[in-house]
Amino acid sequence: MLHVADLVVVRDRHRVLDGVSLVVQPGERVAVHGPSGCGKTTLLHSIAGLVHVDAGSISLNHHDVTHTRAHQRGVGLVFQDDQLFAHLDVADNVSYALRVRGVAKRERFIVAQEWLERVGLSGFQHRRTASLSGGEAKRVALARTLAGEPNIVLLDEPLNGLDDELHDQLLGDVRSLFEQLGTTVVHVTHDRAEGAALCHRSIEFATLSA
């Protein structure tokens, strides 16, 4: 469960987040809509611990994580432009979170294989990230985040830039995956239809600030 209370983030003397509050129940999927530049990405980055918070609090499963370091929070984030590690192959990308925890190579590989299957990319283990198409890269990014079994998954415009057919296909696959796993999700997007299709409820970003 995610509880964000009165979050304030100031950058260059401008209040990017001005008293933002948000509650997400376990297993719930929430879509946050708003125009670009309003601070949606900053909200996600704050929840993930990548941005310094000036006031307010964030708690996950009743633990206050406002001042916890990013790598200790257990928050998964799928970035807008994937951010795959080009020097690692697909399997190494997917199993990165496990590698960080010290899991042995063989086990990591098996887990990576499982997740790749789940996102519909069986057989992609040894592919280089540069050779992936747009849709494939997004699936790998998702698998990578999910493989770490985070408490909550944040999606930053995850289906941006895909053509209509690919977009709908991926949307459907992602939705069934989330329903299967019961993942808690905060989904940021400017596409209201996408938000409605993937999530339980939709919120306007502007309404989050007091």
User: Could you tell me the smallest distance in angstroms from the CB atom of residue 192 to another protein?
Assistant: 26
For residues 70 and 54, give the distance between their C-alpha atoms in angstroms, rounded to a whole number.
Answer: 16
Contact 73, 60 (CB under 8 A): yes
Contact 16, 9 (CB under 8 A): yes
Is 81 near another protein (CB under 8 A)?
yes
Contacts of 57 (CB under 8 A, 6+ apart): 3, 4, 5, 6, 7, 64, 66
DSSP letter string over 113-133? HHHHHHTT-TT-TT-BGGG--
Extended strands (E) in 66-197? 75-78, 152-156, 185-189
For residues 43 and 5, give the distance between their C-alpha atoms in angstroms, rounded to a whole number.
Answer: 12
Draw the binding track, 116-145, toward another protein (x: CB under 8 A; -: no contact). ----------------------------xx
> How many residues does this entry show for the chain?
210
User: Could you tell me the smallest distance in angstroms from the CB atom of residue 51 to another protein?
Assistant: 9
Residues 86-115 that bind another protein (CB under 8 A): 86-87, 96-97, 99-101
Draw the binding track, 36-65, toward another protein (x: CB under 8 A; -: no contact). ---------x--xxx-x-------------
**Position among 148, 174, 189, 198 found at the interface with another protein (CB under 8 A):** 148
**Position among 26, 63, 64, 70 found at the interface with another protein (CB under 8 A):** 70
User: Could you tell me the smallest distance in angstroms from the CB atom of residue 167 to another protein?
Assistant: 22
**Position among 1, 79, 160, 202 found at the interface with another protein (CB under 8 A):** 79
How would you classify the pairing of strands 201-204 and 29-33?
Answer: parallel
Number of residues that bind another protein (CB under 8 A): 29
**Position among 76, 135, 158, 195 found at the interface with another protein (CB under 8 A):** 76
Burial call 153-186: b when 16+ CB within 10 Å, e when fewer: bbbbbbbeebeeebbeebbebbeebbeeeebbbb
Contact 61, 151 (CB under 8 A): yes
**Position among 17, 75, 174, 186 found at the interface with another protein (CB under 8 A):** 75
Q: Which CB atom, from 37 or from 193, has the smaller least distance to another protein?
A: 37
User: Could you tell me the smallest distance in angstroms from the CB atom of residue 49 to another protein?
Assistant: 7
Residues engaged in binding another protein (CB under 8 A): 11, 45, 48-50, 52, 69-72, 74-77, 79, 81, 83, 85-87, 96-97, 99-101, 144-145, 148, 150
